[in-house]
Structure 1
């Protein structure tokens, strides 16, 4: 089997008729700016591109994103821009030994940070000092929290007098272009709302933000000063000019359509070559989460990964996303930069790698 690298996807715009969700995007011409636009444009208008010094430290006011719904609401809020993930700023509210509630599986970067802070990781349904969630689109499964899950999370936090760390990284990638109302809009004094440009424009920009109306905002600013002296002013100015040029809506429409189409192609390929794996159909993001049947870990995810790399393909092993050990073989497949016509070939190589390690297990066996 050839081991040449899979082709990367060329940059293109969706042509009429080639998008699996064509016609479902909302008309944004009369809508208020998105969270991203409001945050960065307001940042520019109030403090200029010089970034978050301790004297300015972010937005004077933030249009925090509740407008991304048919039930708009606005309120006074404050934000801080960061050139790294804002997640470490949670240490302003948490101490070693505190409990933090999470869903399993979840984002590995958050797990690394919370473990580094020596927090006790507990289920999202357990009492805790803080809760971490990705309500708009979860990583790795690409699905939003359902309304009852959102409500349960808010009630748990209110009952425990806890904060909610709302990671909104993938909200703008939701395929139908209609992200759910952010939790920040429901409880602005309890929710720390985190956003980033990494998932929709360019990871190398290193621009992220945290928006909240929590009374301890000044402590967040102090923590930011210790971890990230100043967000890069040049990249902020570049992004501001890009937003003012009106390019973002077209770009988001293109990537949503592209990701939806690739997700559909990948699911079909998995059904043909790895039918024994369950796949959650994503509603956004750019990855799929696969799990084998419970109690049947024929090989480890790392063994499979090693065999796959030898065949020119790769994936994220499921253990990276697990809060607790599991007896289910799992993996995340990311399709953001892979050409659509290479997806079938890539999944076939994954199948070959797995069958080589476990020849007695055939598809569907």
Structure 2
């Protein structure tokens, strides 16, 4: 197996790494607009759908580099691509694809998911949002919580009950009866607005149904597997920043007139951090390669997400510890990495613990 990136993938990684640094300090909306200008909003979608026709591995490299600059922007970018655009690409009718995908790829519209409700996470059996047939469409009623980029997106993939089954619909932000709460005040991912979406008799044309009635759970599961790889890429990027800051601080900080980077205890921590980052990155790229080659991505995607998030939190905690009291302050930008990582694992929760999903896949 060849673990080296292709020449094209390496070029993309280098170009986005340099470009991402110029985005530091911009808002999530401004960063997404900048990515649209260089055709990176639809990087792994087919050219005939308005995308760049690239591979998913290249997309993951972009996500990781973005995360090094802004975890919030990386998550918004991931939601736009692996949730909204991919859902349309796979289950939208030809008319929907022609209508929306070019706009999503050009950044004229930004999309996201609206699935979870209340504190129930992603439990389909507890979803109460309904879609009742009304003439040539559906009336949607319900409340969706923790909607990423809520209020700032233009398209929402809304999941609602059609009878006893779940279906997915495209709902535009200006639909009558659609409203948002004030953004939540969060522990992390502070630049990414996250809000409650309320639907009160929102009329959705029948042609805005993704796939068929009752296909919503299949759509959600398929997208979740792909989105898991995105989340692993974000965790890898945040972890890389944590170790780079730790090394830099270790070279500057001195005790007994010796840089603390020379102390064996610190080197041991850095060694463990380095191993876990590389393992998470390789597992993530293995999952991405599975998608590119048409393999089942569920197993590797879940493993990558679990390992990258778990070790990522540990790495960020170690980075804070290595910085001492300064690591606990906001001045050095270390503690925010942990807060963003925790936000990803909490907001992007799943019904079943990831480790159990991994075990079940192995013994099936």
> Taking structure 1 as the reference length, what is the TM-score of the superposition?
0.24
* Larger helix proportion of the pair: 2
> Taking structure 2 as the reference length, what is the TM-score of the superposition?
0.24
